[in-house]
Amino acid sequence: MREAGIEWRHSDRPVGYDAAVAAMERRIAAIRDDGAPELVWLLEHPALYTAGTSARAADLLDPARLPVHKSGRGGQYTYHGPGQRIAYVLLDLDRRGRDVRCHVWRLEEWIIGTLARFAVRGERRDGRVGVWIAGEGGRDDKVAAIGVRVRHWVSYHGVALNVAPDLDHYRGIVPCGIAPESSGNGVTSLARLGISASMPEIDGALRATFDVVFGDASGCTSQSPTRTAVAQASA
């Protein structure tokens, strides 16, 4: 399905990580060279870890726990798996302002708007990319991770929203370089917050809020340098 020149793709079965990256790379070439439509791809991955371009070996705490895939996206280690909604966002930034910081800000804003439809308040934190939930005692828990790569001014990779994944798998890594025992922060999910949301409901909210954020070229209000921390550009 296409809306305003953007194709929305939904995969019902888990998609292997390497296969997904290869498909994205083919599509960004087609967007750039052949004028193919931009793409938002909603999917899940099998349980695995990905290592972004800033990943530190010491942050892989249990290498034997799950397969580890090196990734060209910005950022450090993160977990992907069933119960997590992956939204890969392939947009032509050449037409959208050539502003990677703004693109990351919009991805955060998109997730914040999506969470609001389930009466959940997602927030930003200075110096920490992603979307966070404020907890008791000053604790923050990350509910959505963001990692982006830009090639020839076409973005790919995107957002991982924890709907109802197995959060125990985060024990095998230091997620996004933030160790819970030293920072007081951790990870959470909608399920842990007591929100029972199906993937179709999540997808509907993502669809409903996308144009509100990405349809307005002047809608970015943050130019914080920290918003580039998860972006790897080869523009």
Residue type for position 125: R
Closest CA to 186 of 162, 206, 203, 202: 162
Residue that is written with structure tokens 């990319």 in the block: 129
Q: Alpha carbon of 31 to those of 10, 38, 73, 87, 216: distances in Å? A: 19, 7, 19, 18, 20
Q: Which of 15, 146, 176, 178 is catalytic?
A: 176
What's the CA gap between 35 and 29, in Å, rounded?
A: 9
- Cβ neighbours of residue 112 closer than 8 Å, sequence gap 6 or more: 122, 123, 124, 131
Q: Alpha carbon of 132 to those of 10, 69, 85: distances in Å? A: 26, 25, 16
Q: Is 102 a catalytic residue?
A: no
Q: In what order do the strands lie in the sheet with 48-51?
A: 68-70, 48-51, 77-80
What's the CA gap between 13 and 4, in Å, rounded?
A: 26
Write out the catalytic residue numbers: 176
